[in-house]
Amino acid sequence: MDATARPVSTPRLTRFLHLLRSAPLTAQFGMVVTLAYALVALFAPLIAPYGEVEVVSRVPFDGWSAEHLLGTDQLGRDFLSRLIYGARNSISIALITTILSLTLGCLLGMFAALVGGLVDQVLSRIVDALMSVPELIFILMILSILGGSILNLILIIAVLTSTRFYRISRAAALNVASLDFVEAARARGEGSLWIAVNEILPNILPLILSELGMRFCFIFLNIAALSFLGVGIQPPTAEWGSMVRDNAALINMGNVTPLIPAAAIALLAIAVNFVVDWMLNRASGLSEEA
């Protein structure tokens, strides 16, 4: 309990900028890289030298050259262009899936926390059952039977991932709901919906945002892995995971080109994880410095 009062708050924008500048090097690196990826994804058609599915060369697996900076892939398409369009496809699909699962999971989680009782028990048991399945295996099984369309992919991953958001938003909401100001709101005669939106949500937002970042990484990596295994995003759509698989033969010849999309996947995931790690450390009050 502090015996002295602190000064009046400075304008929001200044505080935000100061916050960014005070972040550790890793987090700053992460933010810059993430922004770069976002820009590439947004402006892909303007940046890529060739089309996504355009067969531009008769020579498949061509080496790096002036016309094709990263050579050509197994069908004679420009590797670099596919890489750039891959950014757009991979990131947008992962983003949509993440947001879908966030919405589903958080709404149900907060609802369960507030309502409690039987509804909470039933929902939590269902979530427990869904979470007790290894995700990759489950997705493989369902996709192999239903077929690997993009819609199926998004829906299945979204439902499975929403369990994480459910858990974390429910736990956070329960935590906050046990605090006096929520009880005070109830004593005031406020309704459950008002309490959820006005009292609980502002307090669990930071935690949810960090989980958002982490889940985006996982989903992103999962989609890449599935595409690598041949079950995810189907050709001819450019996707980094499948690009690695399609051109894997080059590795045995000592050519690193197929590793570039893999590296691109890794770099984005690392960047987002660095930012999320920083956010979590701030929220929990811990510091990486002693």
Partner 1 sequence: MSFSSRPILSMVLSRLGLGLLSLVIVSLVIFSAVALLPGSYASAILGQNATAEAVAAMEEQLGLNDPWFLRFLRWLGAAATGDMGMSFAGRPVMDVIGPRLVNTVVLAAITAAIAVPLSIALGIVCARYRGRFIDKFLSTTTLASISIPEFFVAYIVMMLLAVKLQLFPSMAGIRASMDWGDQLYRMVLPILTLLLVILAHMVRNTRAAILSVMASPYIEMARLKGEPESRVVMRQALPNAIGPIASVVALNLAYLISGVVVIEVVFVYPGIGQAMIDSVRNRDVPVIQACALIFAAAYIGFNLIADVISIVSNPRLLHPR
Partner 2 sequence: MPDPVIRIDNLHIDARANDAWSAIVRGVSLAVHPGEVLGLVGESGAGKSTIGLAALGYLRPGARVSGGSVHLLGQDLLALPESERRRFRGTQVAYVAQSAQAAFNPVHRLMDQIVAVAVDRGGLTRAEAEERAVTLFTALRLPDPAQFGDRYPHQVSGGQLQRAMVAMALICNPALIVFDEPTTALDVTTQVEVLISIRKVIQDFGVAAIYITHDLAVVAQIAHRVAVLRHGAVVEEAPIARIMDAPQHPYTRSLWAVHELPVDAAGAHDRKGAPLLDIRDLAARYKQFQVLTDISLQVGRGETVALVGESGSGKSTLGRVIVGLKEPAAGTLTYDGQPLAPTVARRPLPTIRRIQIIYQSADTALNPRHSVRRILGRPLTLYHGLRGARREARVQELLRLVEMEPTHADRLPGQLSGGQKQRVAIARALAAEPELIICDEITSALDKVVQAEVLRMLLVLQARLGVSFLFITHDIEVVRAVADRVVVMQAGRIVEQGEKARVFAPPHEPYTETLLASVPEMAVGWLDRIIAGRAA
Q: Under the rule (CB under 8 A), what is the footprint of partner 1?
A: 26, 128-129, 132-138, 140-146, 217, 221, 224-225, 228-231, 241, 244, 248, 251-254, 256, 258-259, 262-263, 265-266, 269-270, 272-274, 277, 288-290
Q: Toward partner 2, which CB reaches closer, 22 or 149?
A: 22
- Name which position in 117, 180, 252, 253 contacts partner 2 (CB under 8 A): 180
Beta bridge partners of 77: 55
84 CB contacts (<8 Å, ≥6 apart)?
Answer: 40, 44, 47, 48
Q: Toward partner 1, which CB reaches closer, 167 or 186?
A: 167
Site for partner 2 in 4-23 (CB under 8 A): 4-9, 22
- Name which position in 104, 190, 218, 245 contacts partner 2 (CB under 8 A): 190
Q: Cis ω on the peptide bond leading into residue 261 (within 30° of 0)? A: no
Nearest residue to 86 via CA among 209, 206, 227, 183: 227
Beta bridge partners of 72: 78
Which of partner 2, partner 1, none lies near 118, with the C-beta cut-off 5 to 8 A by kind?
none
286 is a contact residue toward partner 2 (CB under 8 A): no
What is d(CA 129, CA 136) in angstroms, rounded to the nearest whole number? 15
Q: Toward partner 1, which CB reaches closer, 111 or 240?
A: 240
> Which span (64-72, 74-82, 132-140, 175-183) binds partner 2, by CB under 8 A?
175-183
What is d(CA 143, CA 157) in angstroms, rounded to the nearest whole number? 10
Which of partner 2, partner 1, none lies near 39, with the C-beta cut-off 5 to 8 A by kind?
none
Q: Toward partner 2, which CB reaches closer, 8 or 66?
A: 8
The secondary structure element, H or E, covering residue 282 is: helix 259-284
C-alpha torsion sign, points 72, 74, 77, 80 = negative
